[in-house]
């Protein structure tokens, strides 16, 4: 794509936003609410079944208007449309970005280079569905004729975090005839811990790797193969291993039957791949229909993102909000607090989605950024975080915007627990925004000397994201919402949100250092600190390696 990447700092909107930042810094959320009685309505939006209340953010309608002008000046909508149409928006890797095709309806078509990729996507979904039906019904059996009771997904990054999150989030929605486990870390202790209670006869491994070269996954897949072969013999591999990959020949060389391979495509980035065959372990857990429901949730938000006006477009507004905090108010992070225990892995998932996408230093055309990059993402489920780091949110000196996510209907039968869970969510959002003043403390009899310690200043921003129920469809919509807001951030900053060159140096060095720690090579030309650490390791290794 031959495009001009606009430097956002040169736009008219940017200059206006700089002035608005001074106005907003000089006021407070209390004053903003007092000055506009309809603020919570005008700054609340709906998308794909979620209510998103932006009113407790450090913004006003003028800021929103200027942010939308910024999006218009840099061409966010044009880039969005180009992405959906299959343009090469991942310029540094010269790739199309079409995770949205993973949830396109079967009746639609998207022809790229003469191939209808929607038909390809549905062919793989059908293949997944047939396989999943066979395993869940007990038709597919292990090498000794036993039904599969445990599935182990071996993968890392986008080939792990999405299936892990979805598995936890959706396992209650349907009764699963099997349990799904995950092995990601290259630490052999992870492999041992996950397989300790498993029976090889009833275990199926799903090796998930788009590239089929990732060191962690290849190491763990080899350990798994040895574990199965040791227990059941070499002919058992076909019944205990399937693969998800874009590289069929690499899968075949590893020894997995090509008929048991589920395809991935170059146009789906790892961190955007949950709706692809990378979600096979999720489909095995929740079944074909629930998986398709999840895809329809993704589609709901795709439709909203492509059709809603920018003024009501929630992924656009959220992406612009992150830009506002990072570029105009100096925030460096985004906290994500799901008030749903089953979304406990959402912060980890979003760390990859946001930080691998927007943690960049140059624009799509290679110029050094004139703005901060995307935020550092962190978080934990409410209410756990309240008894840990929320102290800093209430009284620390950092500006740390957070998302508070909750569901109106409980997932468990413990109604009282759900009432308290949601009461805590609402309480945090109020306390962060409005705090507790010295006057209020004094009036309630707090001794003078203690008042400074107990004052909660408020004016701490949060976004309230409320869904009806956590189910496959709403889950898909939530993930799609974050996918698209990440895209919007990247579009405004002018960066390629779909490459990840920064992770390569560490991989290169690790493979060189592996030979050094194993004493196949002398210690190379490292900085003194790294060289000393390697030498110390080699000395210790001589004890345990013999
Ligand atoms: O190294 C980073 C990365 O490429 C991620 O982008 C990706 O999700 C992960 O590794 C796993 O890659 P693969 O699916 O090819 O094993």
pLDDT in tens, 397-435: 999 999 999 999 999 999 999 999 999 999 999 999 999
Mean pLDDT, residues 370-380 taken together: 97
Q: Which of 295, 288, 297, 222 is nearest to 255 (CA)?
A: 222
What local confidence, expressed as pLDDT, does residue 280 receive?
Answer: 98
What local confidence, expressed as pLDDT, does residue 3 receive?
Answer: 67
> Cβ(158) to ligand 1 under 6 A?
yes
What local confidence, expressed as pLDDT, does residue 174 receive?
Answer: 79
> Cβ(214) to ligand 1 under 6 A?
yes
> Cβ(472) to ligand 1 under 6 A?
no
Confidence of residue 510 (pLDDT cuts 50, 70, 90): very high
The architecture that CATH gives domain 105-291 is 3-Layer(aba) Sandwich (3.40)
Reduced to 3 states (helix: H, G, I; strand: E, B; else coil), residue 13 is helix
Q: Which residues are CB-neighbours of 135 under 8 A, at least 6 positions away?
A: 148, 151, 178, 204, 284
Burial label, 156 (beta-carbon count in 10 A; 0-12, 13-18, 19+): buried
Going from the Cα of 1 to the center of ligand 1, the distance in angstroms, rounded, reads 25
Confidence of residue 175 (pLDDT cuts 50, 70, 90): confident
pLDDT at 1 over 70: no
**Measured distance CA(242)–CA(258) in Å, rounded:** 9
pLDDT at 487 over 90: yes
> Cβ(273) to ligand 1 under 6 A?
no
> Cβ(271) to ligand 1 under 6 A?
yes
pLDDT at 5 over 60: yes
Mean pLDDT, residues 384-392 taken together: 97
Confidence of residue 2 (pLDDT cuts 50, 70, 90): low
Residue pLDDT, tens place only, 435-480: 999 999 999 999 999 999 999 999 999 999 999 999 999 999 999 9
What local confidence, expressed as pLDDT, does residue 468 receive?
Answer: 98
| Nearest atom, ligand 1, residue 504 CA | 1
Going from the Cα of 240 to the center of ligand 1, the distance in angstroms, rounded, reads 23
**Measured distance CA(276)–CA(122) in Å, rounded:** 10
- Which of 153, 163, 183, 214 is the best mutation target for the ligand 1 pocket, counting ligand atoms within 8 Å of the beta carbon and taking the most? 214
Q: Which residues are CB-neighbours of 119 under 8 A, at least 6 positions away?
A: 109
Going from the Cα of 158 to the center of ligand 1, the distance in angstroms, rounded, reads 6
Q: Cα-flanking dihedrals φ and ψ of residue 436, to 5°?
A: -140, 125
117-137 and 288-307 are packed helices; what angle lies between their axes, rounded to 10 degrees? 150
pLDDT at 19 over 80: yes
What local confidence, expressed as pLDDT, does residue 214 receive?
Answer: 97
What local confidence, expressed as pLDDT, does residue 140 receive?
Answer: 98
- Which of 92, 93, 153, 156 is the best mutation target for the ligand 1 pocket, counting ligand atoms within 8 Å of the beta carbon and taking the most? 156
Q: Of the listed 94, 387, 409, 414, which one is catalytic?
A: 387
Residue pLDDT, tens place only, 130-149: 999 999 999 999 999 999 99
Spans of all domains in the chain? 105-291, 503-542
**Measured distance CA(70)–CA(449) in Å, rounded:** 48
What local confidence, expressed as pLDDT, does residue 4 receive?
Answer: 78
- Which of 92, 158, 276 is the best mutation target for the ligand 1 pocket, counting ligand atoms within 8 Å of the beta carbon and taking the most? 158
**Measured distance CA(477)–CA(122) in Å, rounded:** 20
| Nearest atom, ligand 1, residue 503 CA | 1
Instruction: Report if pTM > 0.85.
Output: yes
* Token pair in block for residue 431: 């306390």
Q: What percent of the chain has pLDDT over 90?
A: 97
- Has 507 been annotated as catalytic? yes
Residue pLDDT, tens place only, 56-98: 999 999 999 999 999 999 999 999 999 999 999 999 999 999 9
Going from the Cα of 210 to the center of ligand 1, the distance in angstroms, rounded, reads 7
- Has 387 been annotated as catalytic? yes
Contact predicate 243/256, CB 8 Å: yes
pLDDT at 155 over 60: yes
Residue pLDDT, tens place only, 250-265: 999 999 999 999 999 9
> Cβ(270) to ligand 1 under 6 A?
yes
Q: How many CB atoms lie within 10 A of CB 253?
A: 10
Residue pLDDT, tens place only, 301-347: 999 999 999 999 999 999 999 999 999 999 999 999 999 999 999 99
- Sign, CA dihedral 429-433-438-444, equals negative
């Amino acid at each position: 794509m031959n495009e001009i990447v606009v430097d956002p700092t040169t736009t008219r909107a940017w200059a206006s936003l700089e002035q608005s930042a001074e106005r907003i810094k000089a006021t407070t959320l209390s004053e903003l609410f007092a000055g506009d009685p309809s603020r919570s309505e005008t700054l609340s939006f709906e998308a794909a079944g979620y209510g998103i209340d932006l009113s407790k953010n450090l913004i006003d309608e003028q800021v929103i208007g200027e942010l939308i002008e910024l999006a218009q000046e840099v061409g966010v909508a044009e880039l969005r449309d180009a992405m959906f149409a299959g343009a090469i928006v991942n310029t540094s890797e010269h790739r199309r970005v079409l995770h949205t095709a993973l949830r396109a309806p079967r009746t639609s078509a998207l022809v790229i280079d003469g191939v209808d990729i929607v038909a390809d996507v549905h062919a793989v979904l059908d293949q997944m569905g047939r396989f999943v039906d066979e395993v869940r019904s007990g038709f597919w059996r292990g090498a000794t004729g036993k039904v599969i009771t445990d599935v182990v997904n071996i993968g890392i990054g986008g080939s792990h975090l999405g299936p892990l999150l979805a598995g936890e989030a959706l396992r209650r929605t349907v009764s699963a005839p099997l349990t799904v486990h995950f092995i990601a870390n290259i630490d052999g202790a992870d492999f041992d811990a996950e397989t300790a209670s498993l029976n090889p006869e009833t275990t199926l491994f799903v090796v998930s790797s788009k590239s089929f070269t990732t060191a962690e996954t290849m190491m763990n897949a080899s350990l798994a193969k040895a574990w199965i072969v040791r227990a059941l013999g070499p002919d058992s591999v076909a019944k205990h291993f399937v693969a998800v990959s874009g590289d069929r020949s690499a899968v075949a060389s590893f020894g997995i039957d090509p008929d048991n391979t589920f395809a991935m495509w170059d146009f789906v980035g790892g961190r955007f791949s949950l709706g692809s065959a990378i979600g096979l372990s999720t489909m095995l857990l929740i079944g074909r229909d629930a998986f398709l429901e999840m895809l329809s949730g993704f589609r709901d938000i795709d439709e909203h993102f492509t059709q809603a006006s920018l003024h009501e477009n929630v992924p656009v507004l959220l992406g612009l909000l992150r830009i506002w905090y990072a570029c105009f108010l100096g925030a460096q992070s985004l906290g994500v607090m799901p008030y749903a225990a089953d979304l406990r892995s959402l912060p980890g998932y979003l760390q990859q989605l946001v930080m691998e996408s927007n943690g960049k230093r140059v624009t799509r055309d290679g110029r050094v950024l004139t703005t901060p990059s995307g935020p550092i993402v962190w978080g934990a489920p409410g209410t756990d975080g309240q008894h840990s780091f929320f102290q800093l949110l209430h009284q620390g000196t950092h500006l740390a915007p957070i998302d508070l996510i909750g569901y109106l209907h409980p997932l468990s039968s413990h109604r009282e627990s759900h009432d308290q869970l949601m009461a805590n969510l609402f309480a945090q959002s109020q306390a962060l925004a409005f705090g507790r003043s010295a006057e209020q403390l004094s009036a309630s009899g707090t001794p003078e000397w203690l008042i400074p310690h107990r004052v909660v200043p408020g004016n701490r921003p949060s976004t309230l994201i409320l869904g009806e129920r956590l189910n496959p469809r709403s889950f898909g919509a939530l993930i799609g919402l974050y996918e698209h807001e990440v895209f919007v951030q990247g579009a405004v900053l002018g960066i390629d949100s779909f490459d990840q060159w920064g992770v390569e140096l560490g991989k290169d060095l690790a493979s060189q250092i592996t030979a050094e720690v194993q004493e196949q090579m002398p210690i190379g030309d490292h900085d003194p600190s790294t060289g000393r650490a390697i030498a110390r390791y080699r000395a210790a290794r001589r004890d345990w390696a013999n």
